[in-house]
């Protein structure tokens, strides 16, 4: 081993060692004869007589002071009598060191002696002043009485007292300015503010040994998590205690917490973290609240002790309790991130969230919130509970369904990816998937790909139309308007800032120009966009293709409310004509799948009811043409030699459209707004329609609304060419059963 450490001799056992490692003991013996005990080093320079005289003078001075202080000493003696002794005499039976009778009596005695010096009344006064003291321990006043004794004891004595107390007294009572509530039950122990048993490790069986008259503070946690708050404040004072304080109490609380919330352990673990941030939002309790808390405490107290007994009796729950009480052993490294740091992080993230324009920056969440709020408002207005329950149940079901459908995970696959994707491994962490374009020969292009290409092309076009629609809708959406205004303001501010920081005058000119442009932007109208959409929609034969795709139908559905029914524009007429003529192709698919077409009906109705007979006739004329074989290669066999009317009657929307037109035509004829020629035309159409039904080949759909009987009667009497049979059939399918 080393001969020396830090210069100390390790080899020999010496009582005294000198730095240098020399053996002084022997040296001392040798030098004793030469060593003069009364040398200058001991007593100072003898040659200086002033020093010698000084000590005599000083002694005189001290004696004077001592006599003066004698009186004070007496007081001190009295006070020192009040100091907590180790002896048991001063400690009362219940272990209360501050409220013991002896203590108070001695206090009274010493203070009364002092008072006697100034007061002539003597023993009488003594009695009156201290009368209530003699009756017993002081009444429970919020903290004040307990404060008095604590000030008198010195800190060391208190510590000694603490150590003597059972270490199982846990958690302590935080008697002090922080704890506003004074529980009615006097806990056996008072801890002065600022001190806390530094017990990191609780005995393992601790949870089972909570005494029946435990301090009710832990029970406060369900209401408000107050306990850790004083702990936190103390943490700020006592630095190194901080980490232990935040976690020493909670496990104890969790013990009781478990009994109230017998959920799994992870839940409890969670609760350690949220409470501290929550605490910041605790409001100071009012006296009323204190009262409530008193009651709550008492109630909880009783229920806790009862449930505790129940648990102890039951073996199985006992086991569970033991398991639950084996809390993740207190980690010394827990709480490395202080609450301040957490709050700092949260603030940063909240700042990131706080843009002035959430509609643009966080569209989906903003819209979701809006819809939810609207839903809630509607639900509140709807006194109908069934409706709410139904909705709620639906939502729950959806969630459940999503969770249950197990999906087989297939990793993402891409075709000709433009952006490089990363697919790292241990050996090559930054590997990139390098896609090589695989060019197939053009001849081998199969029909499925052609179809998919077509669909993709259509989808692309629809996307473009949707963008315009969204812009049009945003012009009418108040949230969007607000956000755009804000965005404009932000931009202007930025430009101004740039203007300030711009160095050259040319730059300034540029910025000024931009500023002017932006501020005088032309207000856009939604109708501009809508007309653009309609033009695109109605070109060629796109209507049929768009309506074949769900997205197209939805687009139309959203555009229709915005179309101003202006009878002078032919757009709407064209639109409806095209829709109806596309029904043969679109109708079947829609009935089998999406069923969106019937929702067009209200718009059609709105249009027709503003129509004149001429428009209706135009609409109708296109429907009767029979598709001939020469027309196009793409008509399937089933469509040949059949008029669109055939398919229209088979479709719910189609038949509803016919009914609507029927009603309107009857009205117009009745109102004498129809010329004879037009009337004939219309009647021809109706006959055609009836013929079709009679031939009875296709399925006949049920219209959304039926023809009122009166109107039907009137109309059919006008039509002389209708046979009874046809009349019967028409009646059967389309007329109200009044």
Partner 1 sequence: MNKLELEGTAHLLDELDKKLMVLLRDGRTLIGYLRSVDQFANLVLHRTIERIHVGKEYGDIPRGVFIVRGENVVLLGEIDEQKEAGLPLTEVSVDDILDAQRKEQEGKQEQQKLLSNALKERGVHMLHDLTHDDMF
424: contact with partner 1 by CB under 8 A: yes
Token match 């795709």: residue? 549
Of 87 and 410, nearer to partner 1 (C-beta) is 410
**CA Rg value for the chain:** 48
- Phi, psi for residue 681 in degrees, rounded to 5: -55, -45
Binding-site size for partner 1 (CB under 8 A) equals 37
Of 278 and 687, nearer to partner 1 (C-beta) is 278
361: contact with partner 1 by CB under 8 A: no
Of 270 and 638, nearer to partner 1 (C-beta) is 270
CB of 434 to partner 1, least distance (A): 5
395: contact with partner 1 by CB under 8 A: no
In degrees to the nearest 10, what's the CA dihedral of 460, 461, 462, 463? 50
| Near partner 1 in 89-108, by CB under 8 A | none
CA triple 535-537-541, angle to 5 deg: 115
Contacts of 367 (CB under 8 A, 6+ apart): none
Of 145 and 355, nearer to partner 1 (C-beta) is 355
The tokens of 584 are what? Answer: 């043969």
CA triple 506-507-512, angle to 5 deg: 100
340: contact with partner 1 by CB under 8 A: no
CB of 429 to partner 1, least distance (A): 4
Of 55 and 333, nearer to partner 1 (C-beta) is 333
- Phi, psi for residue 434 in degrees, rounded to 5: -100, 110
Of 167 and 328, nearer to partner 1 (C-beta) is 328
Using CB under 8 A, which of 313, 316, 416, 427 touches partner 1? 427
Interface characters, 270-299, with partner 1 (x: CB under 8 A): x-xxx--xx--x------------------
Of 341 and 705, nearer to partner 1 (C-beta) is 341
CB of 232 to partner 1, least distance (A): 16
Interface characters, 658-687, with partner 1 (x: CB under 8 A): ------------------------------
- Look at strands 8-9 and 421-422 and give their pairing: unpaired
Q: Rounded to an integer, what is the distance from CA 188 to the centroid of its chain?
A: 42
| Alpha-helix residue ranges (DSSP H) falling in 261-286 | 265-272, 275-279
CB of 360 to partner 1, least distance (A): 18
- 315 three-state secondary structure: helix
Q: How far apart are CA 448 and CA 53, in angstroms?
A: 123
| Near partner 1 in 305-334, by CB under 8 A | 328, 331, 333-334
Using CB under 8 A, which of 46, 198, 346, 641 touches partner 1? 346
CB of 204 to partner 1, least distance (A): 17
269: contact with partner 1 by CB under 8 A: yes
**Cβ-contact 549, 613 below 8 angstroms:** no
Using CB under 8 A, which of 408, 418, 426, 671 touches partner 1? 426
Of 20 and 328, nearer to partner 1 (C-beta) is 328
Where is 238: in which H helix or E strand?
Answer: none
The tokens of 461 are what? Answer: 């076009």
The tokens of 76 are what? Answer: 């001190």
CB of 735 to partner 1, least distance (A): 53
- Phi, psi for residue 563 in degrees, rounded to 5: -75, 120
Task: Tally Cβ neighbours within 10 Å of residue 299.
Answer: 12
Using CB under 8 A, which of 438, 671, 737, 738 touches partner 1? 438
436: contact with partner 1 by CB under 8 A: yes
**Cβ-contact 191, 173 below 8 angstroms:** yes
Binding site for partner 1 (CB under 8 A): 266, 269-270, 272-274, 277-278, 281, 328, 331, 333-337, 341-342, 345-346, 348-349, 352, 369, 422, 424-432, 434, 436, 438
């Amino acid at each position: 081993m080393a001969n020396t450490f830090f210069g100390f001799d390790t080899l020999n056992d010496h009582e005294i060692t000198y730095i240098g490692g020399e053996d002084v003991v022997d040296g001392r013996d040798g030098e004793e004869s030469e060593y003069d005990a009364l040398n200058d080093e001991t007593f100072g320079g003898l040659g200086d007589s002033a020093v010698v005289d000084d000590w005599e003078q000083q002694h005189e001075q001290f004696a004077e002071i001592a006599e003066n202080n004698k009186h004070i000493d007496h007081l001190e003696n009295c006070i020192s009598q009040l100091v907590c002794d180790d002896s048991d005499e001063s400690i009362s039976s219940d272990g209360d060191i501050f409220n013991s009778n002896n203590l108070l009596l001695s206090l009274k005695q010493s203070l009364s002696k002092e008072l006697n010096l100034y007061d002539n009344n003597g023993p009488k006064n003594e009695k009156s002043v201290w009368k209530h003291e003699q009756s017993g321990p002081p009444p429970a006043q919020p903290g004040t009485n307990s404060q008095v004794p604590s000030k008198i004891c010195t800190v060391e004595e208190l510590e000694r007292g603490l150590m003597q107390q059972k270490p199982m007294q846990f958690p302590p009572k935080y008697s002090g300015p922080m704890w506003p509530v004074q529980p009615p039950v006097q806990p056996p122990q008072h801890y002065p503010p600022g001190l806390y048993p530094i017990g990191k490790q609780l005995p393992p069986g601790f949870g089972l040994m909570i005494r029946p008259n435990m301090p009710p503070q832990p029970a406060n946690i369900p209401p408000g998590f107050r306990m850790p708050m004083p702990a936190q404040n103390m943490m700020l004072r006592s630095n190194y205690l901080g980490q232990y304080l935040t976690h020493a109490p909670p496990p104890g609380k969790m013990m009781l917490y478990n009994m109230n919330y017998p959920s799994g352990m992870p839940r409890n673990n969670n609760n350690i973290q949220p409470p501290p941030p929550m605490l910041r939002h605790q409001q100071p309790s009012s006296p009323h609240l204190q009262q409530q808390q008193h009651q709550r405490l008492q109630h909880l107290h009783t229920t806790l002790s009862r449930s505790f007994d129940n648990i102890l009796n039951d073996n199985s729950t006992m086991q569970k309790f033991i398991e639950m009480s084996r809390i993740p052993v207190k980690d010394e490294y827990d709480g490395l991130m202080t609450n301040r740091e957490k709050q700092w992080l949260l603030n940063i993230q909240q700042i990131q969230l706080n843009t002035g324009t959430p509609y643009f920056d966080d569209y989906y969440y903003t819209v979701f919130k809006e819809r939810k709020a609207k839903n809630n408002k509607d639900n509140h207005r709807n006194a109908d509970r069934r409706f709410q329950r139904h909705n709620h149940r639906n939502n729950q079901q959806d969630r459940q369904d999503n969770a249950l459908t197990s999906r087989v995970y297939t990793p993402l696959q891409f075709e000709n990816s433009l952006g490089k994707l990363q697919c790292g491994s241990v050996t090559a962490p930054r590997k990139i998937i390098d896609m090589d374009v695989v060019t197939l020969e053009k001849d081998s292009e199969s029909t499925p790909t052609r179809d998919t290409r077509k669909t993709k092309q259509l989808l692309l076009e629809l996307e473009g139309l949707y963008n315009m629609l969204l812009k049009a809708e945003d012009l009418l959406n108040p949230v969007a308007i607000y956000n755009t205004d804000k965005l404009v303001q932000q931009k202007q501010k930025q430009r101004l800032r740039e203007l300030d920081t711009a160095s050259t005058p040319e730059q300034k000119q540029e910025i000024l120009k931009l500023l002017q442009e932006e501020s005088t932007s032309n207000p856009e109208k939604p109708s501009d966009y809508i007309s653009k959409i309609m033009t695109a929609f109605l070109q060629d034969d796109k209507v049929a293709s768009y309506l074949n795709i769900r997205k197209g139908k939805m687009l139309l559905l959203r555009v229709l409310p915005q179309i101003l029914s202006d009878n002078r524009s032919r757009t709407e007429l064209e639109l409806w004509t095209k829709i109806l003529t596309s029904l043969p192709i679109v109708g079947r698919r829609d009935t089998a799948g999406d069923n969106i077409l019937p929702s067009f009906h209200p718009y059609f109705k709105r249009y027709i009811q503003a129509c004149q007979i001429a428009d209706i006739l135009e609409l109708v004329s296109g429907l009767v043409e029979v598709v001939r074989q020469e027309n196009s290669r793409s008509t399937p066999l089933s469509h040949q030699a059949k008029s669109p009317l055939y398919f229209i009657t088979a479709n719910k929307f189609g038949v509803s459209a016919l009914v609507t037109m029927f009603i309107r035509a009857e009205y117009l004829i009745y109102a004498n707004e129809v010329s004879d020629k037009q009337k004939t035309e219309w009647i021809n159409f109706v006959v055609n329609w009836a013929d079709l039904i009679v031939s009875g080949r296709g399925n006949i759909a049920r219209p959304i609304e039926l023809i009122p009987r009166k109107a039907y009667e009137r109309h059919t009497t006008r039509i002389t060419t209708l046979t009874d049979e046809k009349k019967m059939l028409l009646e059967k399918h389309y007329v109200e059963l009044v």
